[in-house]
Amino acid sequence: MKKVYFITGSQDLYGEEVLLQVAEDSKVIASYLNDRIDGVEIEYCSTVRDEASCVEACARATNDKDCIAVITWMHTFSPAKMWIKGLQFLKKPLLHFHTQANEKLPYDSIDMDFMNLNQTAHGGREYGFIASRLGVKREVIVGYYQHEDVIEKIKKFIDVARAVDFSKNLKVAMFGSNMREVAVTDGDRVESQIKYGWNVNYYGIGDLVALVNAVTEEELDAKMAEYASLYIMNTDNIDAVKEQAKYEIALDKFMQAGGFGAYTDTFQDLHGLRQLPGLATQRMMGKGYGFGAEGDYKTSALGAIFWEMAKGRCGSTGFMEDYTYDFTKGDEVVLGAHMLEVSPDFASTQPKVEVHPLGIGGKEAPARLVFDGVDGDGVAVCMVDMGNRFRLICAKIELVKQPKEMPKLPVARIMWKLKPDHATGAAAWIYAGGAHHTVVSTALTVEDVRLFAKLTDTEIVVIDEHTDLGKLQSELEMLDLLAKLK
């Protein structure tokens, strides 16, 4: 199981008795968090009291591949020069927990001994200064450790820290390259690896075709039976569905053998495949694999990372594309879909398996899952390469039920409204250079994406109910200037 280190800061000046109490309280808090937070072990570490113990604790966290984050708490005052070298060693997401062992002040008994022991209000500021001076990107959470809202904030931090750890180990397979002449799906893959850890490499589609051709009748029968149990077969063209079933089996084998968490393909490079993977890719996304169409490796990687971040939460997460609008005044709505590849994680109706011609790419009519989408609050997020840095753009959106049936639309779709209004939201996205491909999630919030941006030192532009186009354009100019200064 992944671990989060819980490190308490103090100093030697108080004597052994106080340090024993510091250790005792730290164990109680670490153990309380451990009981309340699932999926990760909160590991109590010995109190650090000088530079050497800080360095030892931070270096151990950095070198422990199971450690995804560090929580630090200043129970007492902890002179912060002793933290400099340790924080310089620390390469894991950091949470500065500004809490106390006690919730309330003991008005009747409080004396100077109590004051010296319980001074996070004081020690946390000294420690916070050095973290700011060193430019350490971290989350600060303030409050009594048993309060529900405080626990929720820590859980969210851990979700994002787990996603950062996942990112550092993510392998993305690109079948083919990105779609010819398309700008926004392209990017600096070396820089992606330096900054986010993504190992992104190209594979010939022939490597996948070999696995497709090796699928056995037994494997195929089992996969078709699985489809029949989950979906409505709304086609007579079973042969086309079997073709996609083979792709899914082959993709699963390819991804597992290579340790990949995400992939891309492109309809311009399908040599040896009779169809563009549709149903197959939808199924892969439904299992949590990241996907980016037309060679979009950035959206593919983000999809896998956000899926990891959303684990254990309610909601849907997947690849999306802004496709077309309803411009009805005051009731504008975005119709999001793709040629085929919409994750069944977004389904609000039982998916139907259908086969229709694609009209692009010159291949056979592909099988796909068709369904209506979920509703609820969500985010649409993209990453673009601005040349000298990556930029995340995160829009708060409201997914809505489709107002009418669309009987002739042969793809799955979701619909959403922009904030603060359609014209402002869409213009803001375009000024920011936002892509047509996104990851949409109803499980994640703007705060999660902001924290991911902070912990990975990534520029972020947020579009929400407060967005003002004048201020946004000034902000974008400032961001350009800032990037030049860095």
Site for Mn ion, rule CB under 5 A: 293, 321
CB-nearest residue to Mn ion: 293
What token pair was written down for 25? Answer: 């309280």
CB of residue 387 to Mn ion, shortest distance in Å: 22
CB of residue 204 to Mn ion, shortest distance in Å: 22
Tell me the C-alpha to C-alpha distance, in Å, between residue 37 and each of 99, 153, 180: 17, 11, 46
Sign of CA dihedral 270, 272, 276, 279: negative
Taking the CA atoms of residue 33, residue 146, residue 82 and residue 111 in that order, the dihedral angle to the nearest 10 degrees is -140
| DSSP notation for 358-391 | -SSSS-PPPEEEE-PBP-EEEEEEEEEE-SSSEE
CB of residue 323 to Mn ion, shortest distance in Å: 9
CB of residue 51 to Mn ion, shortest distance in Å: 53
Sign of CA dihedral 397, 400, 404, 408: positive
The 3-state DSSP class for residue 294 equals: helix
Residue (173 or 293) nearer to Mn ion, CB: 293
CB of residue 340 to Mn ion, shortest distance in Å: 10
Pick the closest to residue 441 from 267, 319, 339 (CA basis): 319
Residue (163 or 340) nearer to Mn ion, CB: 340
CB of residue 274 to Mn ion, shortest distance in Å: 21
Residue (131 or 381) nearer to Mn ion, CB: 381
Residue (159 or 385) nearer to Mn ion, CB: 385
CB of residue 193 to Mn ion, shortest distance in Å: 24
Residue (9 or 336) nearer to Mn ion, CB: 336
Q: Residue 217 — φ and ψ, nearest 5°? A: -60, -40
Sign of CA dihedral 266, 191, 453, 314: positive
Dist CA 486 CA 479 (whole Å): 11
CB of residue 296 to Mn ion, shortest distance in Å: 7
Strands, DSSP E only, in 308-424? 317-326, 333-337, 352-355, 367-370, 376-385, 390-400, 414-418
Pick the closest to residue 98 from 147, 47, 45, 36 (CA basis): 147
CB of residue 273 to Mn ion, shortest distance in Å: 18
Residue (140 or 409) nearer to Mn ion, CB: 409
Residue (321 or 459) nearer to Mn ion, CB: 321
Q: Which amino acid belongs to residue 417? A: K
CB of residue 83 to Mn ion, shortest distance in Å: 47
What token pair was written down for 250? Answer: 């082959």
Residue (117 or 426) nearer to Mn ion, CB: 426
Residues paired with residue 398 on neighbouring β-strands, in sequence order:
377, 417
Q: Which residue has the tokens 């990760």?
A: 40
Dist CA 303 CA 255 (whole Å): 15
Dist CA 445 CA 458 (whole Å): 17
Residue (162 or 338) nearer to Mn ion, CB: 338
Residue (93 or 336) nearer to Mn ion, CB: 336
